[in-house]
Amino acid sequence: MTWHLPTSVDDVVRTRAERPEAPIVAGGTFLGILVRQGLVEADEWISLQRVTELTRMHSAGDLSVGAMVTHRRLELDDTVRTIWPGVAAAFKAVASPRVRNRATMGGVLADADYASDPPSMLVASNAVAEIASVRGTRRVPVEDLIIGHYSTSMEEDELITRVVVPRPTGAAVYRKLRTRSQEDRPASSVAAVVHGETVRVVVGAVSDRPYHFADVCSQWRPGDLDSAREIGEEYASRIDYIDDNRGSAAYRRHVVGVEVRRALMAVAR
Amino acid sequence: MTQRADQTRPGDGPARAYDGPGASSAVRGINPRITAQISYSIDSTIPGEWHLRIIRSAIPAGRVTGFQTALLDDDVIFLTADDVSDLNTFGCQIADQVVLTREPKFVGDAIAAVVAPTARDARVAASLVEVDYEAVPSVFGEMDAIAPGAQLVHAKHYTSESDSAYFDMRPQDGTNVCHRFRIRTPALQGRDEPEVVPHLDDPDDALADAFADADVIVDEVFHTPAAAHVPMEPHATNAQWVDGRLEVTTGTQTPFNMRQDLAHIFGLAAEDVRVVVPFMGGAFGAKTFIRTEAITALAARKAGRPVRCVLDRDEVFNEVTRHPSTVRIKLGAKRDGTFVAKRIWAYVNTGAYADCGPGVAQKMGYAGVGPYRFDHVAVDSYCIYTNLPPGGAFRGYGAMQSIWAAERVVDMMADKLGIDAVELRRQNLLHEGDTFCTGEVMHDARFEELLDDAAAAVGWEKDGDRRGKGVVVILKGMQTPSKAEARIELLPDGRYEVQAATADIGQGAGEMLTRLAAEYLKVEVDQVVVCAPDTDRVPYDTRTTSSRSTHMMSRALADAARDLQVHGTIGHGYVSNDGGLDPDTGQGIASSHWHQGSASAELEVDDETGIISLSTLYACSYAGKVINKHGAELQNEGSMILGLGTALFEELQYTEGQMTNPNLSDYNIASALDVASIRHRVMEVPGGEVHGLGETAVPPVPPAIGNAVATFGYDVRDLPMTPERVLAARLGDTFQSPTGEDPQ
Ligand SMILES: Cc1cc2nc3c(=O)[nH]c(=O)nc-3n(C[C@H](O)[C@H](O)[C@H](O)COP(=O)(O)OP(=O)(O)OC[C@H]3O[C@@H](n4cnc5c(N)ncnc54)[C@H](O)[C@@H]3O)c2cc1C
């Protein structure tokens, strides 16, 4: 088994282009399980651990989070907690400190697991991912990055380098619904972020990818319980739900209505 | 045959000071579990050994018609049912198993095996074998399996000569019932009852007159699912043949049963089998009786070299499970609250093989009677074959399943009568000198103190507002009959060696033996060493199960210490607890001493999502005299944590008999974040006897939570109490079950 340990983004993208079969390893929390289960096998691996530029985080203006910034850092950083409390809350909701100490921003977006916490909040916050390859760099809204079950709009050889989250102008609320252990992944993941007069509500973990319905959100009357309830019901009815160990499709449809309503009432407070 | 390799293994070489799990608290400074100084079964190796992979059935019932092995390397050894023709069948209570089968009875049944020089080679080889099958109809739910015309999982019923078959079996010919156990209190005995296996809605009960004096009757059905033990360490076995003797190093709670069963399978004398048991990284019942040992021994015989077998996590899930069950309880009381009669029907889904299911059915039967007085009790427990993975010993051993039902029914009765639920219990509790339904007289009964303690923990006020509160009190039996022997030897260096077969599963058996021996010999703990269980070196013990070891071994050790004082260098101690129940009347001695416990819960239910938030989960277990306070508390907490997972989310799911969540992502166990509400107590009394408490706090937890949940109008009958089951229990919403089918 060979480990490549590039030290710069340029190095990484070149190594990727030369070795398309070699998986990128960030925190390894997701890949580690796949390897143990025999679902991923490779002779060569590319580790991002030495790429210090990917661990940078800036918060003057917008929040710029390097792909190797851990969940734990986002959860605990004072500036993030003060200015982007919704982001801090969504990353804090993940698993346990053991996992959050390793898991990274790049990893959670690239694995595109439907049952993750951060994506709904990142979409609700209008976050944009920066993606690099030997062909150059491009910017993709997180909303367009995760397109289905474990699938993204990235090319095989592309690398997420950082994620930019605009400075919020209103309140943000993250609601994780756990139906089993408190360390479990979400059965539903609802993020609501207020931008000026409007709200972006995003529902994750109940279907193949996070869902946002701008036309429904545009009907919002801040602080109005009926409005919140109607939006909740409309979200509940529009999504095509999955059935898994965390809840049936019918249960999820029911709780999405409740959770969206609660999130809307909470951001209006 | 290979030579015995030079190696260090537990039991070989000089005795050592006890340095195992738990040694932290008293004997040593640092927990050796954390410093990786403990050698577990999975760490034991024999130089030159090859590796075994089991090839498992992909169908739940049928016949193997052929194997395609053309892709296997020449050096790979391939074993099938043809290799077991000279071996005897086995099974701890019913001899219904073969080491490799041609007729698989569950998805995961062992049908072949490969042995290769490395673990990786063996894994690759196993994936290259293709299997042809002919499927036959299968049956998965216990109630489906007793329906008229159900497919028979085994064409005929068998018996077992094993020590573990400690009562007569009552197989029901022509059905999937491999054992039927009954309790009949005196006035209900000697009736001419038909031998039919009643279905839940059979209206006709020959014993209905037992309820003649009851003003109010509650009659309800409950269900519990299969669950996984999840020991951190998987099953791991090393086997070798040395001059015609079989030597097995393995993680087992049953070293002497193992020796006997292996000897029987291979046609050897018991002395020609040696079983060595290193520390185990948990077991919870999963490491009882034959698991990976017989197939590994067979492979070592065929390979002519030592062989090692370590199961993958999904195999551990499928190896043995907790019995799914359906329990119907009928409770009758007078208007003033006096209990009159109780009727229990327990349907125990033992899967493809009986294992210890008959014993579990028996315990499920009497634990559901509870610590209460009745004029009449009648119990019918059925141990039922299906095409699911076998059910086996599991912390709580059948008691959890029937106590879930029985203690929920007491609260339902309290509601119906308009009597405070704690007072209703108090009014009917068994006291010192009262007679249990088995005819045995209760001694050292502490139920009232336990009940009061649990009620106080959630601020229960008589006839006060009890919304969100639940209180439960239980009894649970200990393995009876059983035997324990211990030896203490004075070593040339002046220290004392304890030789006992109690296995250290992580519960701190080694520390318990060290402390007790030091106390009885009146020496310091560092004067005592404990040798690991090795059937060549330690005397007989029934097994390390049913929370019996501290209670039984403490007395055997005391006896050995007395004997040593008389004889100088070697002291031998022996105790037995006699008893057992008649399978047709349930009369006799169910348990030579009773595990007694209580629990309470205080919680909220989110009425829109069904999510339960616990503010207090409390349990109190009667310990009599505590030997190691820290260890006892850990046992109590561990039991509660298991009870919590059982109550709220643990459930194995199957689709067409195939387990769909055999991993720790799809199957959740309680985590550190789930246990913040837990408080507990280990109850001691001056001059009390030593009581086991390894499981006492498992069974009361689910009904304590269930009773509290029910105060909000959510009458949940099926475990676990997932949020959607909670909502469905009140709103009647029929959410489909999560993926897969309910095994019901
Ligand atoms: C026990 C446990 C519990 C969990 N519970 C939760 C939970 O409650 N909520 C939740 O949201 N998540 C949960 N997770 C998932 C966890 O958050 C993800 O595993 C984690 O975010 C992945 O990050 P990583 O850095 O470890 O990724 P890795 O495992 O290193 O990589 C994941 C994938 O992303 C690719 N990748 C990584 N970085 C990049 C990059 N910069 N550019 C392109 N591709 C990249 C890798 O090649 C791989 O395919 C849990 C995980 C575990 C192990």
Q: What is the pLDDT of residues B674-718, one digit of tens each?
A: 999 999 999 999 888 888 888 999 999 999 999 999 999 999 999
Report the percentage of chain A scoring pLDDT > 90: 97
* CATH code where residue B74 lies: 3.90.1170.50
In a domain, B595, yes or no: yes
Q: In ligand 1, which atom is closest to the CA atom of A117?
A: 11
Would the CB atoms of A247 and B723 count as touching at under 8 Å?
Answer: yes
Of B294, B319, B344, which marks where a domain is finished? B319
Q: Is residue B165 part of a domain?
A: no
Whether B401 is in a domain gets the answer yes
Q: How far is the CA of A100 from the centre of ligand 1 (A)?
A: 10
Amino acid at A261: R
Domain A172-267: assigned CATH number: 3.30.390.50
pLDDT bin (cut points 50, 70, 90) of residue A100 is: very high
pLDDT in tens, A185-241: 999 999 999 999 899 999 999 999 999 999 999 999 999 999 999 999 999 999 999
CA of A106 to the centre of ligand 1 (A): 8
Average pLDDT in chain B = 91
Looking at CA atoms only, how far is residue B652 from chain A in angstroms?
10
Looking at the structure, tell me whether residues B509 and B657 fall in a common domain: no
User: Are B124 and B242 in a shared domain?
Assistant: yes
Query: What is the four-CA torsion angle of A75, A78, A84, A89, rounded to 10 degrees?
Result: 30
Render pLDDT for B544-572 as a digit per residue (tens, 0 to 9): 877 788 888 889 999 999 999 998 899 99
**Does B738 contact A182 at a Cβ distance shorter than 8 Å?**
no
Does B743 have pLDDT greater than 80? no
B314 and B330 fall within a common domain: no
Is the pLDDT at B577 greater than 90? The verdict is no
Which pLDDT value is given to residue B731?
67
* Separation of alpha carbons B733 and B724, rounded Å: 9
Sign of CA dihedral A153, A45, B663, B388: positive
Residues B612 and B520 in one domain: no
* Residue B300 banded pLDDT, cuts 50, 70, 90: very high
Give pLDDT, residue B201: 83
pLDDT confidence tier of residue B735, bands split at 50, 70 and 90: low
Question: In angstroms, rounded to a whole number, what is the distance separating the alpha carbons of residues B711 and B607?
Answer: 12
Residue B1 in this model has a pLDDT that exceeds 60: no
Token pair, residue A142, equals 């997180």
Residues B559 and B666 in one domain: no
In a domain, B570, yes or no: yes
Cα separation, B343 vs B183, whole angstroms = 9
Per-residue confidence at B33, pLDDT binned at 50, 70, 90? confident
Write phi, then psi, for B25 (nearest 5 degrees): -65, -30
Asked if residue B31 has pLDDT above 80, the reply is: no
Question: Are residues B424 and B492 part of one domain?
Answer: no
Which CATH number is B569's domain given?
3.30.365.10
List the one residue out of A62, A46, A59, A185 whose CA is nearest residue A106. Answer: A46
8 Å CB contact of A179 and B611: yes
pLDDT at residue A269 in the model: 79
Residue A245: its chain B contacts at CB < 8 A? 653, 661, 666-667, 738-739
Q: Are residues B64 and B93 in the same domain?
A: yes
Residue that terminates a domain, selected from B319, B344, B376: B319
Task: List the single best residue of B722, B725, B741, B742 to mutate versus A (max A Cβ within 10 A).
Answer: B722
Question: For B651, which residue in chain A has the nearest alpha carbon?
Answer: A245
Q: Do B453 and B428 share a structural domain?
A: yes
Summarize pLDDT for B580-613 with one digit per residue, the tens.
999 999 999 988 888 999 999 999 999 999 999 9
Q: What percent of chain B has pLDDT over 90?
A: 78
What are the φ and ψ backbone dihedral angles of A4, each rounded to 5 degrees?
-95, 135
Which of A177, A248, A258 shows the shortest C-beta gap to B735?
A248
For B203, counting Cβ atoms within 10 Å of its Cβ (0-12 exposed, 13-18 middle, 19+ buried), the class is exposed
What average pLDDT does range B144-159 have in this prediction? Answer: 93
Q: Give the pLDDT confidence of B432-454 residue by residue, as tens digits.
A: 999 999 999 999 999 999 999 99
Residue B51 lies in domain: 43-136+234-279+286-319
Nearest to B722 among A179, A250, A255 (CB): A179
The verdict on B306 and B362 lying in the same domain is no
- Which two three-digit tokens encode residue A144? 């367009």
- Which residues, in sequence order, are CB contacts of B519 under 8 Å at separation 6+? none
The mean pLDDT of B99-105, rounded to a whole number, is 98
Which two three-digit tokens encode residue B702?
Answer: 């689910």
pLDDT at B622: 95
pLDDT of B30: 65
Fold of A54-165: 3.30.465
Lookup result for tokens 């089951």:
B725
Mutation site, A181, A188, A243, interface B, largest B CB count within 10 A: A181
Instruction: State which H helix or E strand residue B515 sits in.
Output: helix B509-521
Pairwise CB contact (< 8 Å): A245 & B661: yes
| Mean pLDDT confidence for A147-173 | 96
B61-77 per-position pLDDT tens digit: 999 999 999 999 999 99
Determine the pLDDT at residue B36: 79
Report if residue B298 sits inside a domain: yes
**For B473-518, how does the pLDDT look when each residue is reduced to its tens digit (9 = 90+)?**
999 988 888 889 999 999 999 999 999 999 888 888 888 899 999 9
3-state class (DSSP) for residue B638: helix
The answer to whether residue B260 is domain-embedded is yes
Give the pLDDT band (50/70/90) at residue B5. Answer: very low
| Chain B nearest CA to A38, separation (Å) | 11
Residues B431, B505: one domain?
no
The pTM of the full predicted model, rounded to 2 decimals, is 0.94
Same domain for B107 and B243? yes
DSSP state of B619: E
Q: Considering its fold, how many domains does chain B have in total? A: 3
Instruction: Give span(s): CATH 3.30.465.10, chain A.
Output: 54-165
Same domain? For B456 and B508 the reply is no
SS3 string of B192-226? Answer: CCCCCCCCCCCCCCCCHHHHCCCCEEEEEEEEECC
Measuring from each residue's beta carbon to the nearest atom of ligand 1, which residues come in under 6 Å?
A 23-31, 33, 67, 94-95, 99, 102-104, 106-108, 110-111, 116-118, 159-160, 185
Cβ atoms of A38 and A173 within 8 Å: the answer is no
Q: Is the pLDDT of residue B207 over 70?
A: yes
Question: Which residue type does B127 have?
Answer: S
Question: Is some CB atom of chain B closer than 8 A to the CB atom of A76?
Answer: no
Helices (H), A170-248: 214-217, 225-238
